[in-house]
Amino acid sequence: GAVVSQHPSRVICKSGTSVKIECRSLDFQATTMFWYRQFPKQSLMLMATSNEGSKATYEQGVEKDKFLINHASLTLSTLTVTSAHPEDSSFYICSASLAGNTIYFGEGSWLTVV
């Protein structure tokens, strides 16, 4: 079946630095990818919809200048957390949409900002 790969699975970064998380669709072309985050004991929340070749669409309350999303090709979307702070520590997960509304998720990335 379709596979979505996310990297890195765990990352620790210093406060004030930036960190990039990659989401790749390995065996299909994904014109649309989605980025979610989950704080401890809370639900997965949609952050943004990433469209290949155009700007991402951000959900209300998500800072577009802080969470930079780039979808440069049909198989790769990246999420860059800029000037990270400890409150950005969270679980980030991407998903990619295949024709027919089937959605495949990556493995998720644990970000810890110290």
Partner 1 sequence: GDSVTQMEGPVTLSEEAFLTINCTYTATGYPSLFWYVQYPGEGLQLLLKATKADDKGSNKGFEATYRKETTSFHLEKGSVQVSDSAVYFCALSGDLGANNLFFGTGTRLTVIP
Binding site for partner 1 (CB under 8 A): 3-4, 6, 32, 34, 36, 38, 41-46, 49, 93, 95, 97, 101-108
How far apart are CB 78 and partner 1 at their closest, in Å? 17
Assess contact for 104 and 98: CB atoms under 8 A: yes
| Minimum CB distance to partner 1 smaller for 6 or for 90 | 6
| Minimum CB distance to partner 1 smaller for 16 or for 39 | 39
How far apart are CB 41 and partner 1 at their closest, in Å? 6
| Minimum CB distance to partner 1 smaller for 10 or for 14 | 10
| The pair of three-digit structure tokens given for residue 101, joined into one six-digit string | 């509304």
How far apart are CB 90 and partner 1 at their closest, in Å? 13
> SS3 for 86?
helix
Task: Identify the sign of the CA torsion 90, 54, 97, 107.
Answer: negative
Cα radius of gyration rounded to whole Å, the chain = 13
| Minimum CB distance to partner 1 smaller for 81 or for 98 | 98
How far apart are CB 12 and partner 1 at their closest, in Å? 19
Assess contact for 23 and 6: CB atoms under 8 A: yes
Distance CA 114, CA 98 (A): 36
